[in-house]
Amino acid sequence: MKYTVPVIMCLLLLPSLSKGQDWVVPEERKGRLSTFPFTEETRKEGERLYNINCLSCHGTPGKNNSIALVPPPGDPATEKIQRNSDGEIFHKVTVGRGQMPSFRSVMSAEEIWKTVSYIRSFNRDYVQRVMQIITSSAYPGAQISLSMAYLEAERQVIVRAMATDEEKSVPVTNAGVRLFASRYFGALAVDEEKLTDKNGVAAFVIPAGLPGDTAGNVSISARFTDEEVFGSVTRDTVIQAGLKNRAGSLVAQRAMWNSVRKAPLWVILSYGIGVLAVWGFILLVMLKLRDIYTVGSALRGNLRPASDQEPTNKQEAI
């Protein structure tokens, strides 16, 4: 008990610890570039996206009216944010940190780049470098393909992206690739997004606890993050990397979905009592109705003997 106050103090101070920490972006992500050039069109679309997703915290660029959070979000027009490389901004928006949300599953890569395009429009000195693939026209007309191999010992899936035309086959470099394991509903992302290296290769680590089917098989697929650029190439395969899943039937233990045999006694009893009570009540109402009817007809018999006979008398009189 006597530690409660110091513990609470520490918890309150925790967020401020990250205040001074630099947000370090992995080396290979820093140099990541947009796959399309920033134009007036991308800037406009970026402004729209910024207003929807970022304005509430970062404020209007150039107005220095970002909201007070710890650490502060900052105004995108300032040097503090502009000194980030394109790849750094892209990475920070993708993964988030602390109060800065991750936009990985909210915005597509293209939308994040358009937002970067808008942010860069506040920097006069900015000169864009576009990802090589577009400017070098290295692969136009080529068939882009993915191949996959599973290294069992390292628990790694190696994805290789190649661009092939009639003459030659060259590796697709610096392309974002993601790996998914199929689940009952939709797909589960396995590991982080990876960029292909100079050989067109990206390596993914399969987590040890990944559940598979009863034989431990997991069906996985790889695809490009920037599908607009590389096309919607996917590669599927089944690897034996999952845990053998021995989960029982979903309904085996559920009395409600099962035969009477498995239903617990209390369910049968309360259900039985409920049904009896309802039918008993209906029976009671019917008995009462019958009583009313008997009493009614007895009264009619007693009260109106004369009038009953009157017409007969009259008829006889006629």
What are the residues binding ligand HEC (CB under 6 A)?
18, 23, 53-54, 56-58, 69, 71, 73-74, 80-81, 84, 89, 92-93, 97-101, 103, 115
Q: For the CB of residue 74, give the shortest distance to ligand HEC in the complex, in Å.
A: 5
Contacts of 81 (CB under 8 A, 6+ apart): 74, 75, 89, 119
Q: How far is the CB of 219 from ligand HEC (least distance, A)?
A: 33
Whichever of 25 and 220 has its CB closer to ligand HEC, that residue is 25
83-to-79, 86, 88, 291 alpha-carbon distances in Å: 6, 9, 9, 94
Q: Which is nearer to ligand HEC, 67 or 243 (CB)?
A: 67
Our CB check for ligand HEC shows the closer of 25 and 206 to be 25
d(CA 266, CA 269): 5
> Nearest-CA neighbor of 226 among 28, 30, 32?
32
Which of 196, 220, 224, 187 is closest to 206 using CA atoms? 220
Least distance (Å) between residue 96 CB and ligand HEC: 8
Q: Which is nearer to ligand HEC, 50 or 150 (CB)?
A: 50
Q: Are 116 and 203 in contact (CB under 8 A)?
A: no
Sign of the torsion formed by the C-alpha atoms of 184, 187, 191 and 197: positive
* Shortest CB 85 distance to ligand HEC, Å: 10
At its nearest, how many Å lie between ligand HEC and the CB of residue 233? 27
Tokens at 223, concatenated: 């695809």
Q: Map tokens 């559940």 to a residue.
A: 211
Measured from the CB atom, the residue of 80 and 300 that comes closer to ligand HEC is 80
Supply the minimum distance, in Å, between the C-beta of residue 34 and ligand HEC: 14
The residue among 34 and 115 lying less far from ligand HEC, judged by its C-beta, is: 115
